[in-house]
């Protein structure tokens, strides 16, 4: 498994970000517990199944491509644990990519931004732009697996 190192923020004001073309994302969870998840995702015309272990800044992740037919066969098993969103990629001044997700359906009104890093030192040294809003990296309520079934945090 690969290690995912990522920081996540809630965006309050999307401003110019909404001018960037978006890619539709549909994902559903096949299994979820406090420290593990298995999800399927359709991002545009790409389909994957992903297993993640851990929570917060650093966790293990294994992702593999699947076919559209496999995605469609598994999708009914995710009933009650799904999210729909549009994703935009914003290039940051230092060359990193910020992934901005604008949620739809039962999560409408929520927007988050995630940035991935090669190591924890770089992640912790990262100074987010003001438009990122408040950080929720360690707040499990903002993990997609929790959002998918419990909705927006109050």
Supply the pTM of this predicted model: 0.92
**Residue range 2-150, CATH number:** 2.40.320.10
pLDDT tens-place string over residues 10-68: 998 898 899 999 999 999 999 998 889 999 999 999 999 999 999 899 999 999 999 99
**Upper half-sphere CA count for residue 115 (Cβ side, 13 Å):** 26
- pLDDT exceeds cutoff 90 at 138: yes
- pLDDT exceeds cutoff 90 at 135: yes
Is 29 a known active-site residue? yes
Domain regions of the chain by residue span: 2-150
- pLDDT exceeds cutoff 70 at 79: yes
**Cα 2 from Cα 90, distance rounded (Å):** 24
Average pLDDT over residues 79-108: 96
Q: Which of 29, 47, 99, 142 is catalytic?
A: 29
Contact (CB, 8 A) for 132 and 113:
yes
Contacts for 56 with CB less than 8 Å, ≥ 6 apart: 137, 138
Contact (CB, 8 A) for 111 and 11:
yes
Average pLDDT over residues 75-100: 96
Average pLDDT over residues 117-136: 95
Q: Which of 143, 127, 121, 135 is nearest to 92 (CA)?
A: 127
């Amino acid at each position: 498994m690969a290690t995912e190192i990522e920081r996540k923020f809630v965006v309050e004001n999307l401003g110019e970000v909404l001018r960037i073309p978006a890619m539709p994302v549909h994902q559903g969870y096949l299994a979820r517990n406090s420290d593990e998840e298995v999800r399927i995702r359709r991002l545009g015309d790409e389909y994957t199944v992903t297993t993640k272990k851990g929570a917060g800044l650093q966790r293990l992740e294994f992702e593999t491509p699947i076919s559209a037919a496999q995605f469609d066969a598994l999708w009914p098993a995710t009933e009650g644990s799904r999210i729909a969103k549009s994703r935009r990629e914003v290039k940051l001044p230092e060359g990193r990519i910020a992934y901005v997700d604008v949620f739809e359906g039962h999560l409408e009104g929520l927007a988050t931004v995630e940035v991935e890093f090669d190591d924890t030192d770089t992640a912790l040294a990262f100074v987010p732009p003001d438009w990122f809003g408040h950080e929720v990296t360690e707040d499990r309520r903002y993990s997609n697996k929790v959002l998918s079934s419990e909705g927006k945090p109050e």
